[in-house]
Chain A
Amino acid sequence: MIRARPIARPAELRLLAWVAAFSLAGYVAVVAAVSGRFAWYEIAVPAAVLAVFAALHLFLVFIGFRGDQLLMPLAVGLTGIGFILVERLAPALVLQQLSWLVIAAGAFCITILIPRDVSVLARYKYTWALLGILLLISPLLPLVGREINGARIWVGVAGVAQFEPWELVKLALVIFFAAYLEEYREVLSTPPRRLGPVPVPPIPYLLPIVAMWLVAMLVMVLEKDLGATLLFFGIFLAMLYLATGEPFYVVIGLAMLIGGGFVAYHAFAHVAARVDVWLAPFGSDLRFDQAYQLTQGLFSLANAGILGAGLGNGMPERIPVVWSDFVFDAFTEEVGFVGALALLALYLVFAYRGMLIALRAPTVFLQLLAAGLSFIVAFQTLVIVGGNAKLIPLTGITLPFVAYGGSSLVTNFMLCALLLRVSDITARVRR
Chain B
Amino acid sequence: MEITFAAILWGVRIAFLVLLYLFLIRAFRALHRALAEERVAVAARQLGIAVLVVTRSHAGGPRVGDRLPLRAISSVGRDAGNDVVLNDEAASAKHAIVSFADGEWWLEDAGSTNGTLLNGSRVWDRERLHYGDEVAVGRIALRLEREQ
Point out residues on A near B: beta carbons under 8 Å. Answer: 11, 14-15, 18-19, 21-22, 25-26, 28-29, 32-33, 36-37, 69-70, 73-74, 77, 81, 307, 310-313, 335, 338-339, 342, 345-346, 349, 352-353, 356, 360, 430
Contacts and interface: CB of A to CB of B under 8 A. Distances in A.
16 contacts: A22-B20, A25-B12, A25-B15, A26-B20, A28-B12, A29-B12, A36-B5, A70-B31, A74-B27, A77-B23, A307-B17, A342-B24, A349-B24, A353-B34, A360-B38, A430-B41
Interface in B1-48: 5, 8-10, 12-13, 15-17, 19-24, 26-28, 30-31, 34-35, 38, 41
B26 A311 contact: no
B34 A32 contact: no
Given A32-B9, A346-B24, A356 B38 contact: yes
A18 B19 contact: yes
Contacts of A18: 19, 22-23, 26
A307 B18 CA distance: 12
A367 to B, nearest CB: 15
B12 A32 contact: yes
A32 B28 CA distance: 31
Given A22-B16, A29-B9, A356-B38, A15 B31 contact: no
Q: How large is the interface on B (under 10, 10 to 19, 20 to 34, 35 or more residues)?
A: 20 to 34
A360 B38 CA distance: 9
Contact of B13 (A14, A310, A430): A310
Contacts of B28: 345, 349
Given A74-B27, A353-B31, A335 B17 contact: yes
A349 B20 CA distance: 14
A29 B31 contact: no
Nearest to B45: A430
B39 to A, nearest CB: 12
Contacts of B24: 342, 345-346, 349
Contacts of A338: 17
B23 A19 contact: yes
Given A25-B12, A28-B12, A346-B24, 19 more contacts: A11-B30, A14-B26, A15-B27, A25-B15, A26-B20, A32-B5, A33-B9, A36-B5, A69-B30, A70-B34, A77-B23, A310-B9, A311-B13, A342-B20, A345-B28, A346-B27, A356-B34, A356-B35, A430-B41
A346 B25 CA distance: 10
Which of B12, B16, B21, B30 has the most CB atoms of chain A within a 10 A radius of its CB?
Answer: B16
Nearest to B21: A342
Contacts of B31: 70, 349, 352-353, 356
A146 B21 CA distance: 41
Contacts of B17: 307, 335, 338-339, 342
A70 B10 contact: no
A81 B13 CA distance: 13
B16 A311 contact: yes
Given A29-B9, A29-B13, A310-B13, A21 B30 contact: no
A95 B16 CA distance: 22
A46 to B, nearest CB: 12
B103 to A, nearest CB: 17
Contacts of A36: 5
B89 to A, nearest CB: 43
B147 to A, nearest CB: 15
B57 to A, nearest CB: 35
Given A14-B26, A356-B34, A356-B38, A22 B19 contact: yes
Contacts of B10: 310
A422 to B, nearest CB: 15
A92 to B, nearest CB: 23
Which of A18, A74, A81, A313 has the most CB atoms of chain B within a 10 A radius of its CB?
Answer: A18
